[in-house]
Chain A
Amino acid sequence: MRGKGCKGIALALILVLMSGMLTGCRFGFASDPDDPNEEVKEEPIDTSVDTFEYDSSLSGTNITLLNSKAEIQVALGKMGEEFEKKSGVHVEVMPVTDGDSPYTKVVSLYNSGNPPTMSILDTTDVIALAEEKAADLSEEAWIAEAENYLTEVNGKVYSLPLCIEGRGIIYNKAVIEETLGETFDPESITTLDEFTEFLEKLKKAGMEKPVSMAKEDWSLGAHHLQFVYETYDGTSEGAQKVIEQIKSGKMDLHSYNRMQEFLDMFDVLKEYNVAKGDPLGADYDEMAIDLADGKTAFWFNGNWAWPNLSEAGADNEDAYGFLPYFLNDDPDDFANQKIQGSPSKQVMVDGQFASEQEQAAAKEFLNWIVFSEIGQQMMVKTCNLIPPFQNNPYEPGDPLSRDIYEKVHADKAFNASAIVPNDHWAVLGAAMQKYLADRSDKEELIDSVQGYWDEQE
């Protein structure tokens, strides 16, 4: 009797599992991201030439580096090893675990009296911590190489800009050409009208909804919305100025033309969104797959999306690139010509707990990544970063970073990043989600943005 019951249960279990497997493939991946036959190509680093002068008195020092950029965790570890081989300084790279915010992590380490010697943080976090905790780096040699990319707090530099990151409308050239049957020149689109026409053309050619846009609050609240401030005049100072004006009530967002223009562009993206039926149900991983597989032609994102695209099957040789975030129909407006690209992650050196020796070792490490042949190569090839340093001759390998790199060098990128309060993306991201889902209108959205700034002290 008992045996029979068990058998029945086992049978039922098998049935459930099998049906799970059958339905499983329906929401599986179109291109297998975990293909074991796929070789991970890594560019070799030439370590034969090294003219960097190491300070031998620092050998044997132990320093720590808190890394908040998860995708370069392994690469940073390799850099640390290489640096230790040459200089004798041991660099331990600590990750910020998923779900922890970098700021929370670094603050808790400070409060426990055991902070990292160096921390990779977002610009806002560095500004919040700089004067209280960080070592003054204004006298460092690399300052001269990173002109225009430095963040100053009351006239002093407390952090090294680690990389440039840019954002815009990512396109997949091959897919566009295949759909339209003609060559695609990204330069041919210069205004919002032309962009809309182009989307309409794709629609007529069979691609119903050519755009992907993430529903995540960091994408909507930070990456979309901050164009309102950053396109004021395309500089960080301008962004700061407009924020001050909004905060003090001198500027009415309802009549600020960039706000209206931003919403015009956002509406176009919204209209052609592949997930228009359920924009808040859109899945981030699926967007990368859709773009790589040709279900969509555009994805609003930044060069950090490359690992996702690469996992979805895109190759380094494929033609991907950025279109600007078109704001109006004036082809001479810089916002329609340039994409946004500015330093995003900063390295801060602890000046409160770290000993002189440790600080010197940390500074040597920073100089090493800027000036040594090995450090320069590893920044670009191993970490896949776009260094903001003029003396670094290496070009990034993936198409998105390469496009930004080229645009930065051809003056087709504007360097503006708005410094906003830390909860800006979360609070206004929610307001943007509401607008994206058509549950609020333009007036309500602008009111929430204005309301947010009114509450700031």
Chain B
Amino acid sequence: MEQRQICSEKIEEDKNHMRSKNNGKDFCIFALPGLFCFIAVVIVPFVYGVYLTMTDWNGVSAVKNFVGLKNFAGVMKDTQFWTSLLLTFKYVIFVVVIVNVMAFGIAYLLTRGMKGQNFFRAGFFTPNLIGGIVLGYIWQFVFSRAFVSIGESTGWSLFEVSWLSDPTKAFAALVLVSVWQLSGYMILIYVAGFMGLSEDVMEAASIDGASGWTKMRSIVMPLMMSSVTICLFLTLSRAFMVYDVNLSLTAGAPYGTTEMAAMHVYEKAFTSRQFGVGQAEALILFVIVACISGLQVYLTKKKEVEA
């Protein structure tokens, strides 16, 4: 009896041993290359970046003096950074809400079997294939030439002057272009979500007498929550980190009123040549984005259900 127990224990032990041995090998084969790359291009630069926030490096000199938290004091004094951060929040709210509402709505329409829906799906996705810089320049032309031209021939005061020369309208232009670009991608995800909805559940809901708004609220929405999680996360992080469209469409114009946080960080580091302060601002921006998107994922994940 005892013998058998010892025996089985031994087998257990061997199994464990083998598993861990195999796991080690598997880990080396599959995860190590990826881990190495991840550490080399993400973790190391990140840690180095944090270190740079505590130096007075100007990007060129061989010596870096340790200055402690002086750069963070510099961030506090940089009023333009806080203005641009506030503007970024405003921008994020507009973009995230409009993109998701629109994408959800359009995806809903495009999965109801309407005529030419594949054409429209492809059409809405196209803007996403154009790079941000190019897109910005194209729209710059539209806002400052095409719109003005329309304004001249129709006399509509809305188009009389270039949208990019007025702070409010330039901001609206930024939101508009970002929505135009981001929606396509989100539509794609929502379409996939809608297609994955089980017909059985829908039918059962109909038989139970649910229709219209009730069905949407109690059946469709909970089942779509996983798509919502992804889309919200993507739009949030992309909107917070916006740079390319900002640079090519307005470049902060008119008079620096549309300069978003990411662009301000770049300007601080490279144009004003204050690497430490710029890097400290980047770190603050990172913490804010990480907290907000982490919170969002946590909250929306909680609402996800399985059919």
For B38, the chain A residues whose CB sits under 8 A away are none
* CB pair A99 B133 closer than 8 Å: yes
* CB pair B144 A26 closer than 8 Å: no
For B160, the chain A residues whose CB sits under 8 A away are 278
24 residue pairs from A and B, CB less than 8 Å apart: A26-B149, A27-B145, A101-B270, A103-B273, A111-B59, A128-B58, A128-B60, A128-B273, A129-B60, A133-B60, A278-B148, A281-B148, A421-B272, A421-B273, A422-B273, A423-B267, A423-B273, A426-B272, A427-B256, A430-B252, A431-B255, A433-B254, A437-B165, A439-B255
For B133, the chain A residues whose CB sits under 8 A away are 99
* CB pair B60 A110 closer than 8 Å: yes
When the two chains form the complex, which single residue of B119, B252, B254 contacts A437, counting CB atoms closer than 8 Å? B254
* CB pair B256 A430 closer than 8 Å: yes
For B61, the chain A residues whose CB sits under 8 A away are 132
Residues 366-395 of A contacting B (Cβ, < 8 Å): none
Q: How far is the CA of A111 from the CA of B48 in the complex (A)?
A: 14
Q: Hey, which bits of chain A sit against chain B, CB under 8 A? A: 5, 9, 23, 26-27, 99, 101, 103-104, 107, 110-111, 128-129, 132-133, 215, 217, 277-281, 283, 421-423, 426-427, 430-431, 433-434, 437, 439
For A27, the chain B residues whose CB sits under 8 A away are 145-146, 149
* CB pair A430 B161 closer than 8 Å: no
Q: A281-B162, A281-B164, A433-B254 are in contact. List 7 more A-B contacts (CB 8 A).
A: A9-B116, A128-B60, A280-B253, A280-B255, A422-B271, A423-B273, A437-B254
The residue in chain A whose Cβ has the minimal distance to the Cβ of B170 is A280
* CB pair B164 A132 closer than 8 Å: no
B115 at the A interface (CB under 8 A): yes
* CB pair B271 A423 closer than 8 Å: yes
Contact string, B122-159, partner A, CB cutoff 8 A, digits 1/0? 00000000000100000000001110110001000000
* CB pair A278 B60 closer than 8 Å: no
Contact string, B7-19, partner A, CB cutoff 8 A, digits 1/0? 0000000000000
Q: How far is the CA of A433 from the CA of B253 in the complex (A)?
A: 9
B287 at the A interface (CB under 8 A): no
For A217, the chain B residues whose CB sits under 8 A away are 253
For A434, the chain B residues whose CB sits under 8 A away are 254-255
For A215, the chain B residues whose CB sits under 8 A away are 165, 253
Q: Chain A's nearest CB lies how many Å from the CB of B174?
A: 15
Q: Chain B's nearest CB lies how many Å from the CB of A96?
A: 13
Q: How far is the CA of A279 from the CA of B144 in the complex (A)?
A: 12
The residue in chain A whose Cβ has the minimal distance to the Cβ of B162 is A281
B1 at the A interface (CB under 8 A): no
When the two chains form the complex, which single residue of B145, B247, B253, B272 contacts A283, counting CB atoms closer than 8 Å? B145
The residue in chain B whose Cβ has the minimal distance to the Cβ of A217 is B253
The residue in chain B whose Cβ has the minimal distance to the Cβ of A280 is B165
For A129, the chain B residues whose CB sits under 8 A away are 60
B31 at the A interface (CB under 8 A): no
Q: Chain A's nearest CB lies how many Å from the CB of B131?
A: 12
B41 at the A interface (CB under 8 A): no
The residue in chain B whose Cβ has the minimal distance to the Cβ of A4 is B115
B62 at the A interface (CB under 8 A): yes
The residue in chain A whose Cβ has the minimal distance to the Cβ of B269 is A104
